[in-house]
Structure 1
Amino acid sequence: MATEAKVESNSKTFVGPASATLVEASDTWPRRLWRPLAGLNRSTQFILCAALIMGLHMAFVGSLVSQQIRLAAAHSAGEGAAIYMEAYLDEYVQELATASTLKPESVQAIDDLMKETSLKQHVLSIKIWLPDGRNVYSTSKLPVFYYHPAGPIAAAMQGKVVTRLSPLDHDEHAYERSFGRPLYETYVPLRELGSGRIIAIGEFYEMEHEIGSIHQQVWAIIAAATLAVLLLLFLIVRRGDRIIEKQQAALRQQMQDQQALHLQNAALQLRVNTANREFATINELTHRRLGADLHDGPAQLLTLILLRLDELADLCKTGQSDALETVRNAAQESLREIRGISRGLALPEINGLNLDELLKLVVQRHEQRSETKVELELGELPEALSLPYKICIYRLVQEALNNAFHHAGGQGQRVSADTKNGLLEIQVKDAGAGFEQTRIDGDGAHRSRLGVVGMRYRVESLGGTFELESAPGQGTRVTARFDLRDVNDNQ
């Protein structure tokens, strides 16, 4: 016999309020929860969050399983009800096909069934209703409502078996409430033999099967599985957390080592810069001494040779004067070159000059020596600068202007200097023919290469940057930059 079970259980009262509570707290729960977790380690934070999430998930799963268990129990109860009604009641209700009440003999027979047969082991109470809702039989013999609510009866009149966990909340349930335990309330259609027409609705109350113990077992299994998963996850995360802590400790040690190395490098860099400045000073003193030695030594000897050659010229015969004149010209040329080298090696007294006066002096000397014009453009310059930087800038501009005179014929000679954001920039350029920079890099014996190397070395030895830009037909530009903030910090 086909049946259909519909379950209406108290589980709805559990799901509804819980869902409403979670929705109301969803806005503030994450923020309130995270505040006390902020000071905990990662594994503890993880296990607490995982416990909350998995707890909610398992509660949902447990509730769903409980509902499925109740559905299955209700379906089983409905199936059993249909069998009981067919086996015990069908023959006693056939008279309802033509009458609106049961005969006293039929009522007594049903009462005997409830007392003497195995039916009483499963069914606690039986009620029989007519299709219009009137009650024609009740096991309790207590006054009942003669008109039952139409909902379950209407469903049973359509041939359905309706089973639910009864709330037992009506006056007619006084007898059933006396048992003090949950009961399944089942409505089964009773049919006329032969025609199959529904002539009455049988209602009976059956004790709830041991669903409570099954629920407890289900919840115990879910709780044990959840705890096992949480423990496994905690062990995994804790192991990872320890690895991270070890790596963090190693990284902190490495950072401390790097910091110590950085301090050592800074100290070494300071010593190197100090040594470079001292070397530049010593180098300049060496140049001065070489210039003085050339002036006082070979230059004086050549001057003496020229004087004696003049005396010999008066004593020599006419035919020998040409040879003496050749020697005399060579000696004069050598003397001029030695004096020029001596003047180039010896710097003027620049210690008392500021950078503005220094640049004007080197440009003026170049103009006098080369008889060319140099455009000078000076911006905002520092008032005080240490001697090694003054010497470096003087030699840089001197060498760059000499190269401009020798290789560009003095065309478009221009010197500029300015300070922006603590960066001093010195620039010397010309409008000559220019050259390919690879030519200087490849020609090791070229004098220009030696001059460029010397300028670069002077600038970089003091922590500055050196740039040389040139191309055929575009002239040449030499640029040196010094970070005066570093200069002031190192002084």
Structure 2
Amino acid sequence: VTARTAEVQSQAEQLRALAADLSRAEQQERKRLAQVLHDHIQQLLVAARMHVESLKLEVANGRAVALALIAEAIEACRSLAVELSPPVLHRMGLIAGLEWLAERLLEQSRFRVEVQSDSGPEPAAEEVRLLLFQCVRELLLNTIKHSGQSQAVVTVAHTQDKKIEITVADAGKGFDASLLNTRGKKTQTFGLFSIQQRLTHLGGSMQIETAPGRGVLVTLSAPLGR
């Protein structure tokens, strides 16, 4: 029995390590795609715009339409590159990334996010910082879509056992927490289940407090590391 238990634990550790590797590979691929968009596709579009601008087209409207379409494509590439891998997150860290996200959601969706932080250390591993950012973003997008509210609060704190703890709270509609155990339904609960799994693979956790008409409080926890 002891040997079997040890074998099961070993397999679980291997699965967690594999999941962490997959998560790391996903982050690297996001950065690579963002770099391709920024360094290659955007440059091609900029060059095309310059070429069109230099042309003396007989039909002025056609030239204007072409320039407008190219400008729209350039902006779409820039926006996608930022969404895939926000530069501020890599340059300035998780808190700065969350504040940037709050500004972006206010601009795009008129949804107000208050970010509060105890100014403690951030996770040492970039993959953990990126995962927490993605989790918070997904939670906020869920809030925008399902809560019926126009604001939420994100709080960053630290625990005595060297973990970072992030809460995302809204005073919206809430939902039946028992739905979290229901698989195969295309609801916001699937996204929450996905977040929970990704955090678990990196040594973190997620807790949800909610009920119909009582809003949602989600607590994310992850190790700070060395």
Structure-1-length-normalised TM-score: 0.37
Which residue of the partner structure matches residue 57 of structure 2?
A: 316
Which residue of the partner structure matches residue 396 of structure 1?
A: 135
Amino acid across the alignment from 1:271: Q
Check the 8 A contact 1:427/1:480 in 2, yes or no.
yes
Q: Secondary structure at the match of 1:442?
A: coil
Which residue of the partner structure matches residue 277 of structure 1?
A: 20
By relative contact order (CA 8 Å, sep 6+), the higher-ranking structure is 2
Shift of 1:407: 6.1
Which residue of the partner structure matches residue 330 of structure 1?
A: 69
2:80 pairs with 1:346: no
Which residue of the partner structure matches residue 425 of structure 1?
A: 165
Q: CA distance change for structure 1 residues 369 and 273 in 2, over 3 Å: closer, same or farther?
A: same
Question: Which entry has the higher C-alpha Rg, 1 or 2?
Answer: 1
Check the 8 A contact 1:373/1:410 in 2, yes or no.
no
Which residue of the partner structure matches residue 264 of structure 1?
A: 7
2:143 pairs with 1:386: no
Deviations 1:235-266 (A, max 9, x none): xxxxxxxxxxxxxxxxxxxxxxx111122222
Which residue of the partner structure matches residue 20 of structure 1?
A: none
Which residue of the partner structure matches residue 465 of structure 1?
A: 205
Amino acid across the alignment from 1:412: Q
Check the 8 A contact 1:362/1:397 in 2, yes or no.
no
Shift of 1:415: 0.8
Q: Distance in 2 between matches of 1:321 and 1:434?
A: 54
Q: CA RMSD in A?
A: 3.9
Unaligned runs of 5+ in 2: none
Percent identity of paired positions between Structure 1 and Structure 2: 22
Check the 8 A contact 2:210/2:217 in 1, yes or no.
yes
Unaligned runs of 5+ in 1: 1-257
Q: Distance in 1 between matches of 2:220 and 2:5?
A: 27
Equivalent of 1:367, from 69, 81, 102? Answer: 102
Q: CA distance change for structure 1 residues 442 and 276 in 2, over 3 Å: closer, same or farther?
A: closer
Q: CA distance change for structure 1 residues 340 and 351 in 2, over 3 Å: closer, same or farther?
A: closer
Check the 8 A contact 2:102/2:115 in 1, yes or no.
no
Q: Secondary structure at the match of 2:151?
A: coil
Shift of 1:295: 1.5
Structure-2-length-normalised TM-score: 0.71
2:53 pairs with 1:306: no
1:449-460 alignment, distance < 5 Å: 452=192, 454-460=194-200
Corresponding pairs, count: 217
Which residue of the partner structure matches residue 219 of structure 2?
A: 479
Check the 8 A contact 2:94/2:130 in 1, yes or no.
no
Deviations 1:116-148 (A, max 9, x none): xxxxxxxxxxxxxxxxxxxxxxxxxxxxxxxxx
Check the 8 A contact 1:411/1:430 in 2, yes or no.
no
Q: Distance in 1 between matches of 2:121 and 2:184?
A: 34
Amino acid across the alignment from 1:367: A
Q: Secondary structure at the match of 1:332?
A: helix
2:29 pairs with 1:286: yes
Q: Secondary structure at the match of 1:297?
A: helix
Q: CA distance change for structure 1 residues 295 and 468 in 2, over 3 Å: closer, same or farther?
A: farther
1:114-193 alignment, distance < 5 Å: none
Q: CA distance change for structure 1 residues 284 and 410 in 2, over 3 Å: closer, same or farther?
A: farther
Amino acid across the alignment from 2:57: C
Q: Distance in 2 between matches of 1:350 and 1:451?
A: 22
